[in-house]
Amino acid sequence: MKICMIGAGYVGLVSAACFSEFGWTVTCVDKDENRSAELKAGRSPIYEPGLDALMERNMTAGRLTFTGELGPAVAGADVVFLAVGTPMRRGDGYADLSYVFSAVEEAAPHFDGFTVVTTKSTVPVGTSREIERRLKIKRPDADVAICSNPEFLREGSAIQDFTHPDRVLVGCDQARAREVMERLYKPLALRGSTVMFVDRESAELAKYAANAFLALKISFINEIADLCESIGADVQEVASAIGKDRRIGDKFLHPGPGYGGSCFPKDVSALIRTAREAKSPVSIIEQVERVNHERKLAMAVRIEAAAGGSVRDKTIAVLGVTFKPNTDDMRDAPSLVIVPMLQERGATVRACDPQGRQQAEPLLPGVIWCEGAQEAARDADVLVILTEWNEFRALDLEAVKATMAGNAVVDLRNVLDPEAALELGLSYQGMGRGKLASKNADNPRSRLKN
């Protein structure tokens, strides 16, 4: 099969590389000249474990190519994927579809033979029909079918998610298009992966509904964490207990500073706007959006409290700034709210991140960037873990304590051993670990300065 992938961002690039691994011929189109040049040289512009090797293998085999020219890539393609950005539209929170429609308009003159045009981008309900309407005006003679094929990739494990999916979802209303999509995903079906065919509106809504539900689970466990702190329970024990219930599951039950990333914030917002337009409000999801925004603000207040009530003229060491580990993605990362709040209140912020500095530095002006945790902690009054990179789990707390000016640790991801921190005389504060409060208070060493 010949595939054209329009857009070499996170979704487009990962999908193109994985399809080429199936043996299909894939041309990935990106109009950004710098990005296109980087890709042609075999360099991925994003950090995703395993992606560089996957690209190199399939480029060498001639199955994966990159270009800035749309026409030749579209001509003769069996499937044309739309994998361009659909960012949150400024002012109303709705998904901005201008890139999608622009790609369709540009591709229209080049369709040759029966072509399945498929949205990979996350798009609101009704987008497939609107693309269909526009193409009938632009190319009434074109033999095309429009499908919706939303992605369910987690940054940091996207290749595994693509090649071993929980399900592949295809919104399709034409028999010929279904045959093409069945052939496209046959390598996964042969492995036993479920390929689901539904109508296009159902596929479009399912993507938003899935992300909104996961965002809800995160906000739910964050509120339970706060309750645990108030009553002396441990959220990790609570989450483990309820996660064993197969009706609930243990995924996304880890408290933290709020969700971020390229999907949850904009998809939750877009679903709310869609529901309001349909006069069918989703009040639970609206509350999730509000809770998540307030969560990030509350984390800055929590850090301020750990610093003795004020961060003015104090140094805060921040470990991790990306919205999650194993990615360099800074989109809607909690750090973009928390760090500026600390700076506005007079703090000096020293930060490190294994992959995120290049993306984060322009977004977090005034931050002092360090090579690692040990350097960031030097002379810090408070140490904050904001992203759960694995290397922070093995932090040498004794060495960190020796270099800090203060002794407060705020572990917003619960990656450290609280007992070990307390034994060293650190004032440790995790998330939802209420039963540690009394131990902190009873430990005289936790009140000592270095």
How is the chain split into domains, by residue range?
2-198, 208-290, 293-447
| pLDDT recorded at residue 437 | 59
Residue 365 half-sphere exposure toward CB, CA atoms < 13 A: 1
Q: What is the pLDDT of residues 63-95, one digit of tens each?
A: 999 999 999 999 989 999 999 999 888 777 788
Which residues have CB under 8 Å from 70's CB, separation 6+?
A: 6, 29, 31, 103, 106, 107, 110
| pLDDT recorded at residue 89 | 81
Are the folds of 208-290 and 293-447 the same? no
Spell out, as residue ranges, where the chain has pLDDT lower than 50.
Answer: 446-450
- Chain centroid offset of residue 229 CA: 28
- Strand partners of residue 350: 317, 368
Best CA proximity match to 193, nearest among 144, 226, 220, 160: 160
Q: What is the assigned CATH class of domain 2-198?
A: alpha beta
| pLDDT recorded at residue 439 | 60
pTM value is 0.91
Say whether 370 is catalytic.
no
- Within 44-147, residue ranges assigned H as helices are 51-60, 70-74, 98-107, 127-138
The bridge status of strand 79-82 relative to strand 115-119 is parallel
| pLDDT recorded at residue 370 | 98
> Three-class SS of residue 247?
coil
DSSP 8-state secondary structure symbol assigned to residue 154 = P
Sheet strand arrangement including 382-385? 368-369, 348-352, 315-319, 382-385, 408-411, 427-429
**Vertex 194, ends 28 and 161: CA angle to 5°?**
50
Mean pLDDT rounded to a whole number for the chain: 94
| pLDDT recorded at residue 440 | 61
Q: What is the phi-psi region of residue 112: left when phi exceeds 0, alpha when psi lies from -120 to 50, beta otherwise?
A: beta
DSSP 8-state secondary structure symbol assigned to residue 444 = G
Question: Which residue's entry shows tokens 């090579």?
Answer: 371
Q: Which of 172, 228, 263, 352 is catalytic?
A: 263
CATH second-level architecture of 293-447? 3-Layer(aba) Sandwich (3.40)
For the chain, report the end-to-end CA distance as a whole number of angstroms.
65
Which residue type does 72 have?
A: P
CATH second-level architecture of 208-290? Orthogonal Bundle (1.10)
Count of residues for the chain?
Answer: 450
| pLDDT recorded at residue 443 | 56
Q: What's the rounded Cα separation, in Å, for the pair 10 and 328?
A: 11
